Chain A
Amino acid sequence: DAKTTQPPSMDCAEGRAANLPCNHSTISGNEYVYWYRQIHSQGPQYIIHGLKNNETNEMASLIITEDRKSSTLILPHATLRDTAVYYCIVRGTSYGKLTFGQGTILTVHP
């Protein structure tokens, strides 16, 4: 599975959009981009995933560049409860392992 690179930390004001970048320059054609988040020591929570097209659900939007070498997770109206560690993961059609990196610590402040 391809490796990912994320900034170690980011800040965002409450009510503003949080844009979290992820680089995955070695991604291959059958690998998906996944985003998870972990609040304190709770179990990681699935947010969204995509292959080529941009995706949107009730939690967030995922923008994948045309060459698929990077992506951005967008939380459109961040709240204090969105403060968490956000993990960008690339996963292929292999046996299913999610390889977690260090993630981005997002802090939403009032």
Chain B
Amino acid sequence: EAQVTQNPRYLITVTGKKLTVTCSQNMNHEYMSWYRQDPGLGLRQIYYSMNVEVTDKGDVPEGYKVSRKEKRNFPLILESPSPNQTSLYFCASSLRAGGGYGYTFGSGTRLTVV
């Protein structure tokens, strides 16, 4: 089944403890992206990747890192999480970056930083 898989689904952590949220897609998509969703603010893009070893900042990149060493994986790294990073996170992928291609989203990771 074609899908985007995120892990974990739920995570509670403490301030400052480094964590990684994994994202993997099995559709050979070139484009991958991370979003966060907060009440009243909607979905906002954190980082995106056009292809392997090509990443760039989205609208809210502060406090996050990403890497794209393989086409299928696009982990989101929080080096020193803070409570304002408590949010619902979604990974998405698309065959290409340009118009004409739909995104497939993962099921989400609900992160709580205390």
* A residues in contact (CB < 8 Å) with B: 30-32, 34, 36, 41-46, 49, 51, 91-103
B107 touching A43, Cβ below 8 Å: yes
Interface string of B31-51 (1 = CB under 8 A from A): 101000100001111001010
With a cutoff of 8 Å between Cβ atoms, the chain B residues found around residue A51 in the complex are: 99-100
Residue of B nearest to A1 (CB): B99
Q: Give the size range of B's interface with the partner.
A: 20 to 34
Q: Complex Cα distance A49/B102, Å?
A: 8
Residue of A nearest to B94 (CB): A96
The answer, among A43, A94, A98, for a CB contact under 8 Å with B106, is A43
Q: Complex Cα distance A102/B59, Å?
A: 17
With a cutoff of 8 Å between Cβ atoms, the chain A residues found around residue B44 in the complex are: 100
A96 touching B33, Cβ below 8 Å: yes
With a cutoff of 8 Å between Cβ atoms, the chain A residues found around residue B45 in the complex are: 97-99
